[in-house]
Structure 1
Amino acid sequence: MMDRQRMLAEERIGKLLVKLSVPAMIGMLVQALYNFVDTIFVGRGVGSLGIAGITISFPVQIFVMAFAQLIGIGGASIISRSLGAGDKPKANRTAGNIFTVVIFFGLIMALMGLIFLKPILTLLGASPTIMPYAADYLGIILFGTFFFSFAMATNSVVRAEGNARVAMYTMLISAILNIILDPIFIFGLDLGVKGAALATVISQATTAFYLLYYFLSGKSLLHIKSHDLKPEIPIIKESFAIGFSAFVRQAAGSVLGIIMNNTLVAYGGDIAVAVFGVINRLLMVFLMPMFGINQGFMPILGFNYGAKKLDRVLRVIKLATIAESIISILAFTFLFSFPGFLIGIFSKDSELILIGSDAMRKVILMLPLIGFQVIGAGMFQALGKAFPALILSMARQILFLIPIVLVLPHIAGLDGVWFSFPIADVSAFLITFVLFIKQIRNLKSEIGKAAWEG
């Protein structure tokens, strides 16, 4: 286990980034593929209204993910820096507090969601025709909220200690099991969207138990005892402060989903909601490798910043930025070139394919800029700089995309919805660029100061 600490501190940065990022990329790509395949099965087995029902429900799942990342990513940053500074007891206590908080939240979220299911779906924009499908799906998904939030948060802890392989396994287990169960429940047992939801919950529960076994078996670098589970307000506050940027980004995605669903129903009807759901699934497949690099990048950055190895900090930032930019450009090229083919995988509905192809090309116009934004936000999170991380997390969705979506469709109709995305992407890129350059200059200044004092 000491080898993982030595690896983070001494191994060549390029090799280390590949070693930690590739498993995360594979895991997240497979995770995205299960959402992709899930939607294909629903589209082929239930139809476009089934896809719309899943899409309507998605903001709730995003919000659960947001809270899991609030405590998980925030705590992971503390754990990485504590391990780098040699303070293992604090790392153990932080992990224990993550367990306690996420378990409490998962149970509360499931209970409240089930009690207010129909009002929540109405708020999410479910039309009368979509409501039965959305209720069937979300009513089951909520039972898995506890497992989903636990797996999301503790997976961040696994990455923080540098065990990228186990973090990858957790995502592979969930995704592969879901893909296996989907056709059994949707087609074999003829459960429709209920079958898709049931497959998801079983997969999430299996992942949660695997992670619990990992921590209890002694294979983790961390050794969490019962006293570590006792809530410590300073640790929870610091975790929330650092993770708040990730929470805002995900929660903004939930708010955006609500606004998008209602706007799409108003300007394009149920078919537009299904189109947005398909585009989202496709974007997830192509964007997940970027988030995989970011997840491999953050523990390297956090550990070496905590250990005062600033040359390694700058090196990993440079390599990760280059890698993210290459992936975002390749993703744009493929999605822009073959939208009809890709959307046709989900459904043979000619209207869905026609509207979706046109929408896809408009939504992804500025996709090449996304990779840099991902690294910019990840850099500030890993460095423990809560305020700039929060600004960058708010920029795209809260500061730009949501206001634009609320205004532009009144001028340009359904096209206004689609063009809101590239406008927001450019605006967020500019803010990220300014803060990023300033932080790089600060890091170089710290290196110069350390060399002078040495």
Structure 2
Amino acid sequence: MTQGNIHGHLLKFSIPMLLGNMIQLSYNALDSIIVGRFVGKNALAAVGTSAPIMTIIVLSISGICIGASVLMSEFFGARAYDKLKRQMATILIFGAILSAFVLAFGLVFTPSFLQILQVPQTIMADASLYLRLMLIGFPFTFLYNALAQALRSVGDSKTPLYFVTFASLLNAVLDFVFVPIMGMGIFGAALSTVLAEALSALLCLIYVYWKIPILQVHRDEWRIDKDLLKETMNYGSVTALQQAAQPIGKLLIQGKMNALGVDVMAVFNAVSKIDDFAFTPEQSIASGVTVFVAQNRGAKQKDRLNKGFKSGLLLASIYWLLLCIFILCFRRPIMALFVSESQQNLINMGAQYLSLMVFFYLWPAFTNGLQGYFRGVGKMRLTLISTIMQISFRVIFVYLLVPHLGVSGVAFASTIGWTIMLVYQFYCYGKIQKELMQTL
């Protein structure tokens, strides 16, 4: 990414990553669609209640892996291949230790988490079962994310897409076999997801050891580099907190929604999944900006670094315009994917939310782009501070507006949070530009 057409590089890198992220999102969304249509709204609410907890865990490890990949991108840009390989060993060993801890802790305390969320007793058993099964797949999720980010750091965003696509197809087939055909309910939906996650991780591992010499860790190289681990955690821990802050905010919002009944819980679960799909392209472009900026920072190409960032914002804005047209035309059929067409009250509630929220999706196109830039230049703490600001105001206004506006209150509250975040980010961006003029 340090030479050649900037728009072309960003598109070529971001599109496979976007498709891969969309497919990963489809795992849990497909569970929601299948159980919502073939098991019922209580099952849909149970899956939706469990989802924010898993999202916090998954995005936390994703944040650590992104932090590691920023360093790997710099090492690759500077041609420091020995450091690149040591970083690979360090993050994989650390991930194995973290996975064991999270799995044991999560399995024991699942009921306590759900009670804190005020999950109704009518869906408590299903929610506990689904969450515990999803936790079993956590080690595979970490392995896939670490390997995928490593491949992306060296400019290969296509290979992770191939593996996660194959795994997603398996997940879809197993979902239909386990739930509608075999009648395994929520257990079947969770089992299909875990099996698919395991396959994508193992395929990625085999590929790295077969095709990518600079990422291969041999038997005598399996050790943690303490200096690299410290540097990784300086990047990764802040990024993990920033990544986890979003679903923590959603978890607090979920608690408010749970108090409004199963119908509202089901609608909120559905529109949250749609929001996730809508945001993912913007986040993928931002991840492309991170790698682009980090590699050009390593190569000390300041002008190209800034052009890449602005190109990312332009691409995200074009995407938002296309998204507006699509959702406004198909908001009701989209909602009908999650609930039966006989439940028109749920479809109406969700369609009303989407009609409003689609215009506000422009805000995260810019906030995500700036977050990607901050990560690329190593300013991880700014991403955390700005995210916490956004989440804090979002949660406060959800509790103020939802009692009066229902689910639509979430859209207004989100926009208030994004606006405050964006003002802070532009202020920080101006300061960083002055720093880069002196250091690069």
Which of these residues, 302, 314, 321, is aligned with residue 306 of structure 2? Answer: 314
Separation (CA, whole Å) in 1 of partners of 2:132 and 2:381: 36
Q: Deviations over 1:193-241 (max 9, x none)?
A: 1111001000000011112212222425323234543223322222222
Listed as ranges, the matches of 1:249-398 within 5 Å are: 249-266=242-259, 268-347=260-339, 348=341, 349-397=343-391
Residue type of the alignment partner of 2:267 = V
- How has the CA–CA distance of structure 1 residues 29 and 66 changed in structure 2, closer, same or farther, with 3 Å as cutoff? closer
Q: Which amino acid aligns with 1:21?
A: S
Displacement of 1:409 in angstroms is: 4.1
What pairs with 1:35-434 in structure 2 (closer than 5 Å)? 35-266=28-259, 268-347=260-339, 348=341, 349-397=343-391, 399-409=392-402, 416-434=409-427
**CA pair 158-395 structure 1, distance change in 2 beyond 3 A:** farther
Judge which range, 215-224 or 346-355, deviates more: 215-224
CA offsets, 1:157-201, max 9 Å, x none?
A: 111111111122233133222112110111121111111100100
Cα deviation, residue 156, structure 1 = 1.2
TM superposition shift of 1:290: 1.8
Distance 1:170 1:284 in 2: 21
Distance of aligned partners of 1:389 and 1:12 in 2 relative to their CA distance in 1, 3 Å threshold: same
Q: Which amino acid aligns with 1:36?
A: A
Deviation for aligned residue 1:418: 4.3
Pairwise CA RMSD:
2.2
Higher mean Cα deviation, 387-396 or 192-201? Answer: 387-396
Q: 1:48 to 1:148 in 2, by over 3 A?
A: same
Answer yes or no: is the 8 Å Cα contact 1:245–1:394 preserved in 2.
no
Q: Unaligned stretches of 5+ in structure 2?
A: none
- 1:320-378 deviations in Å (ceiling 9; x for gaps): 11001221233234334543232122212122112222233344442111111111111
CA–CA distance in 1 between the matches of 2:379 and 2:99? 27
For 2:275 and 2:176, how far apart are their aligned partners in 1? 23
Partner SS state of residue 129, structure 1: helix
Q: Give the corresponding residue for 1:4.
A: none
In the TM superposition, what whole-angstrom CA distance separates every residue of 1:390-421 from its partner, at most 9, and x where no partner exists? 22333322x32223334444666665444311
Q: Give the distance between the partners of 1:291 and 1:230, measured in 2 at CA.
A: 32
What's the TM-score once normalised by structure 2's chain length? 0.93
Q: Which moved more, 1:359-368 or 1:83-92?
A: 359-368
Superposition TM-score, scaled by structure 1 size: 0.90
Contact map agreement 2:73 2:153 (CA 8 A) in 1: yes
Deviates more, 1:372-381 or 1:238-247: 238-247
Change (3 A) 1:354 1:220: farther
Instruction: State the distance in 2 between where 1:391 and 1:228 align.
Output: 37
Alpha carbons 2:53, 2:251 under 8 Å: kept: no
Whether the 8 Å CA contact 1:304–1:310 is kept in 2: the answer is yes
| Deviation (angstroms), 1:72 | 0.5
